[in-house]
């Protein structure tokens, strides 16, 4: 039930979606930070999936802070090619050994034989499913990540945020498939999925409720709120240059959308912040998109 109080960028929310993983200090209690029972909020855990598209500049620092790194098939080729530039003080082989992924997952129709041999000899597990053509390599990586989460390898830590680097840009069908995974790919697992690539970040908003968006310093202010799969009625905002109000028509594919918008709200500590109260009526879902420098 929407609050009777006016919505502001400082309003209390049900969920906070923070881009803490793009910040230098890596701190953030958004995206599912959990209380450990002693009054302390456990920071969320980062998992990184590398897809077979140009890896963003931000991939290197994301790799360093991730607790799990999974290459999606040909994403291993991208990592193999990028690693020497990430550690120019090393020779190429040493640099590639300094940036070994946790696993390589997919149908393995894109990884080159030489790259596969290199990572296998370095002890990286390679999980191939060539007969499974009903799921994408990203979906296979999400399933692998789900098992990793459920096995409790980060027991006692906060919830997991998965960043799929290289998910946006390149072939349009791949981009649309990644957006589809943002809504369906987590399969109810305790993690959220963030898509990153070609200077953009995208993430699914909850089906209903009040959500705060807290961009990183390298993110925005350009943003958009895009409806997919049907109408989304009754959505209002605070902290956007062009607010969604009760008078705004329902957002819908083929109709009204909120694009070329900008985050202008300010929250605690002077941090950029916008609040979106998702009406939930109409059966559609909302995708949040924002510009990322280095993304």
Comparing CA positions, the residue from 222, 207, 262, 217 lying closest to residue 239 is 262
Structural domains of the chain, count: 1
Q: What is the DSSP letter of 238?
A: E
Q: pLDDT band for 216, please (50, 70, 90 cuts).
A: very high
Query: Is 90 exceeded by the pLDDT of residue 292?
Result: yes
Q: pLDDT band for 33, please (50, 70, 90 cuts).
A: very low
Query: Is 80 exceeded by the pLDDT of residue 227?
Result: yes
d(CA 280, CA 158): 27
Q: Is residue 182 part of a domain?
A: yes
Q: Is residue 270 part of a domain?
A: yes
Query: Is 80 exceeded by the pLDDT of residue 152?
Result: no
User: In this structure, how many other beta carbons lie within 10 angstroms of the beta carbon of residue 57?
Assistant: 14
Q: Strands 200-204 and 126-128: what pairing?
A: unpaired
Q: What is the DSSP letter of 158?
A: -
Here the tokens at position 196 are: 């990153």
Instruction: Dump strand ranges (E) for 41-159.
Output: 41-42, 45-50, 68-72, 103-106, 126-128
Axis-axis angle for helices 172-184, 137-150 (nearest 10): 30
Q: Is residue 95 part of a domain?
A: yes
The residue with greater pLDDT, 229 or 100, is 100
Query: Is 90 exceeded by the pLDDT of residue 4?
Result: no
d(CA 18, CA 203): 11
Cα separations in angstroms, 10 against 6, 16, 197, 210, 262: 10, 12, 29, 12, 17
Query: Is 90 exceeded by the pLDDT of residue 29?
Result: no
For range 100-123, the mean pLDDT: 96
Here the tokens at position 8 are: 């502001």
Q: What is the pLDDT of residue 156?
A: 59
Q: Is residue 75 part of a domain?
A: yes
Q: What is the pLDDT of residues 69-94, one digit of tens each?
A: 999 999 999 999 999 999 999 999 99
**In the chain, pLDDT over 70 holds for what percent of residues?**
85
Q: What is the pLDDT of residue 131?
A: 64
Q: Is residue 4 part of a domain?
A: no
Instruction: Dump strand ranges (E) for 74-218.
Output: 103-106, 126-128, 160-165, 191-197, 200-204, 209-214
d(CA 16, CA 184): 20
Q: Is residue 193 part of a domain?
A: yes
CATH of the domain at 257: 3.40.50.10240
Burial environment of residue 246 by CB neighbours within 10 A (0 to 12, 13 to 18, 19 or more): exposed
Q: Is residue 235 part of a domain?
A: yes
Q: What is the pLDDT of residue 22?
A: 94
For range 246-260, the mean pLDDT: 91
Comparing CA positions, the residue from 178, 196, 179 lying closest to residue 47 is 196
Q: What is the pLDDT of residue 163?
A: 96
Here the tokens at position 55 are: 């890896």
d(CA 265, CA 12): 14
- Among the residue ranges 74-78, 128-132, 181-185, the one predicted with the least confidence is 128-132
* Residue 67, domain extent: 15-292
d(CA 20, CA 67): 15
Q: Is residue 185 part of a domain?
A: yes
């Amino acid at each position: 039930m929407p609050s009777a109080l006016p919505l502001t960028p400082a309003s209390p929310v049900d969920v906070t979606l923070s881009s803490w993983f793009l910040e230098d200090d890596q701190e953030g209690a958004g995206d599912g930070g959990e209380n450990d029972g002693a009054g302390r909020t456990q920071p969320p855990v980062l998992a990184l999936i590398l897809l077979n598209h140009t890896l963003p500049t931000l991939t290197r620092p994301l790799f360093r802070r991730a607790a799990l790194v999974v290459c999606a098939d040909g994403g291993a080729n991208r990592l193999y090619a990028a690693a020497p530039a990430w550690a120019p003080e090393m020779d190429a082989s040493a640099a590639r050994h300094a940036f070994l992924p946790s696993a390589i997952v997919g149908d393995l129709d894109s990884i080159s034989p030489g790259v596969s041999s290199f990572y296998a000899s370095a002890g990286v597990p390679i999980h191939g499913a060539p007969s499974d053509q009903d799921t994408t390599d990203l979906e296979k990586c999400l399933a692998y990540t789900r098992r990793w989460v459920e096995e409790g390898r980060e027991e006692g830590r906060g919830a997991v945020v998965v960043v799929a680097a290289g998910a946006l840009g390149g072939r349009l069908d791949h981009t649309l498939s990644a957006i589809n995974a943002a809504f369906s790919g987590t399969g109810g697992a305790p993690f959220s999925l963030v898509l990153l690539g070609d200077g953009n970040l995208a993430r699914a908003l909850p089906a209903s409720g009040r959500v705060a968006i807290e961009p990183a310093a390298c993110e925005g202010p350009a943003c958009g709120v895009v409806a997919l799969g049907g109408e989304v009625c009754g959505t209002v905002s605070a902290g956007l240059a062009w607010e969604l109000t009760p008078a705004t028509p329902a957002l819908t594919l083929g109709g009204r959308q909120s694009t070329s918008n900008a985050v202008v709200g300010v929250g605690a500590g002077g941090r950029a912040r916008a609040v979106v109260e998702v009406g939930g009526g109409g059966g559609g879902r909302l995708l949040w998109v924002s510009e990322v420098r280095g993304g």
